Structure 1
């Protein structure tokens, strides 16, 4: 059976990344796209080769021909429309962060369980071979005992009209990109953080965090990461073991037109003998769609299920609380 996807809205990530990556697949197709403007929906759908266009999100959700819905709406609309999809009996892949409070994730879990659908958070990075390889190496002991993880992720965006800079829309560095080093570290270590300390700088005009530095204690390691929406674009993740270190050069915006590189180093500070590992050419958005569709077809769990989203959201909430209160904060389990 070939499953039909529908897309809520014409977000940039949907137009430029997700929908093109899903084209010409034997197991699924993007059948419909909705916008609050029918004209915009028709124009976007035509440009992307999508057959159906809808003038409202509700119209797409109600269409019996749509089996799975991709929700890339602004952060503050994720829960509202994911719930509407679930109540209509649709499977849902929602962009991160799927919710801005743990309580809202719990509402989604209740609705998912009641309706018996597959619902997941769109952390596409977990589908990429470089992260699967990193997890295997760390948990397989290739680095020795890993006790330190470091990450950086930044870009520059000072546009006051951009949703990433609007507090009421769930903007700010932590919600937009801080979720990545947190989520990938949890994935690689296979552990949940215990407590957190943090320092956040906020934009005086936007009210959103523009530079956030975070220290999380895991059972076996420490994670140190910094994210910013007003610094030179940069991203990197490093895992330090007692024998070797592993560096992921493009951890989050992995390109699909060239191999991704991981650097394995046994302490050579001049990097003359470090081993460079290449992953095969991969489109992480296509792999994400394949894995989610497979879960729907076989009645399995989403690649990043709501229980995982709940753990990530609890940690993010604790980061904000730790920075506000100026102390270590325990993370609810």
Structure 2
């Protein structure tokens, strides 16, 4: 393909800054059409972002002859359906994370990709963000020696709409739509990146429960996991604590030191060894998905390779299924 012309399904928050504008900022790429169930919202998004066409029907967007690649920016419950329609129409697919509600749906998507020969990519953009590229570099250079242990902590307070008499929790905590709760939303990024830098996880187990009763999904998860390399990992995810208890901190503990970093909220990487302490401040770019979108465009043009595919993206769902279905 000389020019990658994107059609975007969904006009929600993730598309406003993280992804949408990036499609037209990447060389040889442009966002030419958007689709939303609400005509008013679709038209408004198109007008504000300079997109020439908008639709309220998925098939009309997918079958637009100008569109040759599809970005699916919807909740996970329709990822399998929309990705299947797009790939069978011969359109390359870039789908939001988590890739689907469970590992079985991910495998079904990958099977369609294999049968049609149409590429499938997943929005695990941390694989290309400068912050995490630096983190991978530090690991590969063995600045803390051989990695022995990984620890992950995500302890958050509830979102405002999840508490009170008028609580109206978001779709992310409706398992029928999201496949789980906040764990599925955030831990998917974490497991994808950890496998990217440390290799495959061969064993994962955990306990997941609903303690606070704010919504249907589980709100606390603890897990242990083992990588094929021998590295061990442990994690805790809780979403019903006080704001003062909020923490997003992970550590890589090696034979010669440790690296402390954040998956979501901070932009510093702290390296501690016998030689002293080094800190790296690496803010995220304006559009966090842009570096990954660049690699997708390059692959579709035969000029490179995207590190986040349907095959790699399905791994995070498989691990989360293992942890939560005990």
Q: Give the TM-score category using the shorter length.
A: 0.7 to 0.9
**Aligned equivalent of 2:323, options 297, 319, 322:** 319
After the TM superposition, which residues 51-66 of structure 1 pair with which residues of structure 2 at under 5 Å, given as runs? 51-66=52-67
Indicate whether 1:165 and 2:173 are aligned.
Answer: yes
Are 2:292 and 2:306, in contact at CA under 8 Å, matched by a contact in 1? Answer: no
- Provide the rounded CA distance (Å) in 2 between the counterparts of 1:154 and 1:298: 42
Q: Given that residues 31 and 66 in structure 1 are in contact (C-alpha distance below 8 angstroms), is that contact kept between their aligned partners in structure 2?
A: yes
Residues 193-204 of structure 1: pairs in structure 2 closer than 5 A: 193-204=202-213
Cα offset for 1:304? 1.1
Which blocks of at least 5 consecutive residues in structure 2 are unaligned? none
- How far the C-alpha of 1:91 sits from its partner, in A, is 0.7
Determine the structure 1 residue equivalent to 2:153: 152
Paired residue for 1:236, among 228, 240, 249? 249
TM-score, scaled relative to structure 2: 0.88
> For the Cα contact (< 8 Å) 1:72–1:94, is it kept in 2?
yes
1:160 positional shift: 2.8
1:176 aligns with 2:185: yes
Q: 1:213 aligns with which of 218, 222, 227?
A: 222
Aligned length: 312
Higher relative contact order at CA 8 Å, sep ≥6: structure 1 or structure 2?
2
Match of 2:279 among 269, 276, 279: 276
Quote the offset at 1:86 in angstroms: 0.9
For residues 324 and 310 of structure 2, what CA distance do their matches in structure 1 show?
21
8 Å CA contact 2:12, 2:73 repeated in 1: yes
Compare 75-84 and 302-311 and name the one that shifted more. Answer: 302-311
Deviation digits for residues 76-125 of structure 1, max 9, x if unmatched?
A: 11111111111111111111111222222221112111222110111111
CA distance in 2, matches of 1:281, 1:72: 20
CA change 1:294–1:225 in 2 (3 A) is same
**2:107 counterpart residue number:** 106
Aligned-pair CA distance for 1:154: 4.4
Of 231-240 and 119-128, more deviation after overlay is shown by 231-240
Q: Distance in 2 between matches of 1:300 and 1:21?
A: 18
Cross-structure match for 1:223: 233
Cα contact 1:152–1:236 (8 A) shared by 2: yes
Query: Displaced runs of 4+ in structure 1, greater than 6 A?
Result: none
Q: In 1, are the aligned partners of 2:130 and 2:284 still within 8 Å (CA)?
A: no
Q: Deviations over 1:236-286 (max 9, x none)?
A: 22111011111124x2367xxxxx321110169xxxx41112447634311
Partner residue in 2 for 1:34: 35
